[in-house]
Amino acid sequence: MSQRKIYVAPSFLSADFLHLGEQIEMMNRSQADWFHLDIMDGVFVPNISFGFSIISQIKSLARRPLDVHLMIIDPDRYLERFAKAGADILTVHYEACTHLNRTVSQIKSLGMKAGVSINPHIAVELLQDILPFVDLVLVMSVNPGFGGQKFIENSYKKIRRLSHMRQIMGLDFLIEVDGGVSPANAKQLVEAGADVLVAGSAIFGAENPLKVIEQMKNL
Ligand code: DX5
Ligand code: ZN
């Protein structure tokens, strides 16, 4: 369909943590491009996930870049520790950063790619002045905190508007979409301008996760 590279990033939030090693090995054998890790602090979102030691252990087996999505307040306190734990891409929330420009440049100076994420109620236009500095924008297509939620349809419009901004500003950041993504809406999301498809329950909840990833890679 398109010449652009489409990235698929399975979200390990929906993985079976009793068999995490096997799940990582399975993803290493898949067409997945990045491994998406959701970090939740129980404050920014009403859920708590996992932290540095799990990230480091995943890093030791993973043969893909770690795409770490921080759903935490005041992420500045921990940027260095996420770098040390093995994050390759570090995404912070727009809503959680008072000095976003400083946070983004610190992420980059620690050798990671920098992403900024927005919740469903935040307009992409608010990102205009940070866009020249980021490697990635993550559009949340559910209210963050949990896997397995229903995709919010308004996200298509947001991705289209963001893709248009990228074009008129002459920028090349990637557009990532996260929440309720599956083979059923992947093509429409890519057509709207998404480059990176995050999927948790659609991949890890499937009988054949590798097949689902393959479907999303070959739209
Ligand atoms: C939600 C997380 C997502 C989540 C997606 O707050 O950011 O990455 O794992 O799960 P699904 O794909 O099941 O909606
Ligand atoms: Zn996520």
- 174 is written with which tokens? 């990637």
Tens-level pLDDT at each residue, the chain (219 residues) = 557 899 999 999 999 999 999 999 999 999 999 999 999 999 999 999 999 999 999 999 999 999 999 999 999 999 999 999 999 999 999 999 999 999 999 999 999 999 999 999 999 999 999 999 999 999 999 999 999 999 999 999 999 999 999 999 999 999 999 999 999 999 999 999 999 999 999 999 999 999 999 999 999
From the CB of 10, is ligand 1 less than 6 Å away? no
Write out the DSSP string of 135-194.
SEEEEESS-TT-SSPPPPTTHHHHHHHHHHHHHHHT---EEEEESS--HHHHHHHHHHT-
Ligand 1, from 177, 201, 203: best to mutate by most atoms within 8 Å of Cβ?
Answer: 201
From the CB of 93, is ligand 1 less than 6 Å away? no
Cα(68) to centroid of ligand 2, in Å?
Answer: 8
Tokens 């992409």 sit at which residue?
A: 124
Can you give the pTM of this predicted structure? 0.98
As a whole number of angstroms, the distance between CA 169 and CA 79 comes to: 28
Which residues 6+ apart lie within 8 Å of 194 measured at CB?
A: 139, 159, 175, 176, 177
